[in-house]
């Protein structure tokens, strides 16, 4: 099709890097982001692939992010590491924090990582997957701009606050889920708006607090948590972990600082990593992972069920040889960025 461009994964990386470098990003910041963009395209996670580069660029152009930031690691406790992202994007801070988090989890059994002053506009699955590839169980939590109402509420207060979890597997990629606390991603509402389609019931309320299926009314109103008050509790937990616990802002505070932000604000991020070997008296990684495989096999035996991340891993087997496609208009935009 003439309106699509086919790229191999190295080209994806080069396009991302070029766009970011042309906007002043340091080699390290650009590479860390481009690595994540390539991971997303590799896995068919298009909304976090090259499609996301204009979000990064807009955030840079606004001038609040430091695209040359060098993250600073501080040892806070035997089992806690802090990474000050210094107003840079999250991927480099997460990369720099991965080794200390791994070492602490292995030495102490469980460890936490607090990331400060970061712009996190990517998915969480790459970071928990990285820890699980090192044999650890991992959680990640990040708050975001307040677009979601608490259950029962009529105004936005929480971010769509995602949490992610990963479990290591032998000989294959980890089991991973990465899910927002809202029923739908905000991008899904934007896509409905673009396509002139009504939203499914239960996604959002309008600015008067009434249920709506109109995308414009939803974007002006508030998104709703998944599963009612239970999803709302998860969102509250994420606000506390990525906010007050680590000395960072809540979503509504960042919004007060920058009410125009529609991308992803400056804030905190929290991770936990656990070494399974240290959670039993005579750790046998093989046996623990083999045990988990029995549960996964049961899930796959059931009609209609699948493992979270299965779709991504299925794409991952194809894209290294088949490449990926992006709209020609996006390709033109990215080439334009790189020309500066």
d(Cα 315, Cα 129) in Å, to the nearest integer? 16
CB of 37 to its own copies, least distance (A): 25
CB of 139 to its own copies, least distance (A): 9
Provide the terminal-to-terminal Cα distance of the chain, rounded to the nearest Å. 28
Nearer to its own copies, 6 or 230 (CB): 230
In contact, 16 and 34? CB cutoff 8 Å = yes
Binds its own copies by CB under 8 A, chosen from 272, 324, 326, 334:
272
Binds its own copies by CB under 8 A, chosen from 24, 58, 154, 217:
154
Residue 1 touching its own copies (CB under 8 A): no
188 is catalytic: yes
CB of 212 to its own copies, least distance (A): 16
| Residues in 18-77 at the binding interface with its own copies, rule: CB under 8 A | 74, 76-77
Binds its own copies by CB under 8 A, chosen from 155, 169, 193, 316:
155
Phi, psi torsion values for 232, nearest 5 degrees: -65, -40
| Number of residues lying near its own copies (CB under 8 A) | 73
Please give the helix or strand (H or E) that residue 331 lies within, else none.
helix 328-339
Q: How many CA atoms lie within 13 A of 297 on its CB side?
A: 6
Closest C-alpha to 90, from 264, 245, 223, 252 = 264
Query: Which entry of 13, 23, 48, 120 is annotated as an active-site residue?
Result: 48
Nearer to its own copies, 25 or 183 (CB): 183
Binds its own copies by CB under 8 A, chosen from 51, 55, 252, 313:
252
Q: Which residue in this structure is represented by tokens 């529609």?
A: 262
| Residues in 204-243 at the binding interface with its own copies, rule: CB under 8 A | 209, 226-231, 233-234, 236-237, 239-241, 243
d(Cα 205, Cα 210) in Å, to the nearest integer? 5
| Residues in 296-315 at the binding interface with its own copies, rule: CB under 8 A | 298-299, 302-306, 308
Residue 110 touching its own copies (CB under 8 A): yes
Nearer to its own copies, 247 or 320 (CB): 247
Query: Which entry of 41, 127, 129, 188 is annotated as an active-site residue?
Result: 188
Pairing of strands 4-7, 324-327: antiparallel
Binds its own copies by CB under 8 A, chosen from 27, 220, 280, 335:
280
> What's the 3-state SS for 211-252?
EECCHHHHHHCEECECCCHHHHHHHHHHHHHHCHHHCCCCHH
Nearer to its own copies, 61 or 220 (CB): 220
Nearer to its own copies, 7 or 131 (CB): 131
Binds its own copies by CB under 8 A, chosen from 45, 90, 96, 157:
157
d(Cα 227, Cα 213) in Å, to the nearest integer? 18
d(Cα 196, Cα 37) in Å, to the nearest integer? 28
282 is catalytic: no
d(Cα 48, Cα 84) in Å, to the nearest integer? 24
47 is catalytic: yes
Enumerate the active-site residues: 47-48, 188
């Amino acid at each position: 099709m003439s309106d699509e461009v086919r790229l191999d994964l190295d080209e994806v990386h080069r396009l991302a890097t070029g766009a970011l470098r042309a906007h002043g990003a340091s080699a390290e910041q650009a590479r860390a982001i481009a690595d994540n963009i390539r991971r997303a395209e590799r896995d068919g996670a298009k909304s976090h692939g090259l499609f996301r580069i204009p979000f990064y660029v807009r955030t840079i152009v606004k001038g609040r992010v430091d695209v040359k930031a060098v993250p600073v690691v501080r040892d806070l406790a035997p089992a806690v590491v802090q990474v000050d992202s210094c107003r840079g994007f999250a991927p480099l801070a997460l990369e720099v924090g991965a080794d200390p988090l791994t070492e602490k989890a292995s030495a102490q059994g469980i460890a936490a990582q607090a990331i400060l002053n970061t712009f996190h506009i990517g998915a969480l699955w790459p970071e928990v997957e990285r820890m699980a590839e090192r044999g650890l169980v991992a959680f990640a939590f990040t708050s975001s701009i307040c677009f979601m109402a608490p259950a029962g509420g009529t105004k936005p207060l929480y971010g769509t606050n995602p949490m992610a979890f990963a479990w290591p597997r032998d000989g294959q990629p980890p089991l991973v889920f990465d899910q927002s606390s809202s029923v739908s991603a905000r991008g899904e509402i934007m896509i409905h708006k673009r396509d002139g389609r009504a939203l499914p019931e239960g996604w959002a309320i309008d600015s008067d607090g009434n249920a709506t299926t109109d995308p414009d009314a939803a974007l002006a109103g508030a998104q709703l948590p998944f599963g009612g008050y239970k999803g709302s509790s998860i969102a509250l937990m994420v606000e506390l972990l990525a906010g007050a616990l680590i000395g960072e802002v809540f979503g509504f505070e960042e919004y007060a600082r920058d009410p125009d932000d529609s991308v992803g604000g400056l804030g905190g991020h929290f991770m936990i990593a656990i070494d399974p070997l240290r959670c039993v008296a005579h750790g046998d990684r093989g046996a623990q992972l083999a045990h988990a495989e029995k549960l996964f096999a049961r899930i796959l035996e059931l009609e209609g069920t699948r493992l979270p991340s299965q779709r991504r891993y299925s794409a991952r087997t194809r894209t290294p040889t088949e490449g990926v496609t992006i709209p020609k208009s996006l390709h033109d935009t990215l080439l334009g960025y790189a020309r500066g």
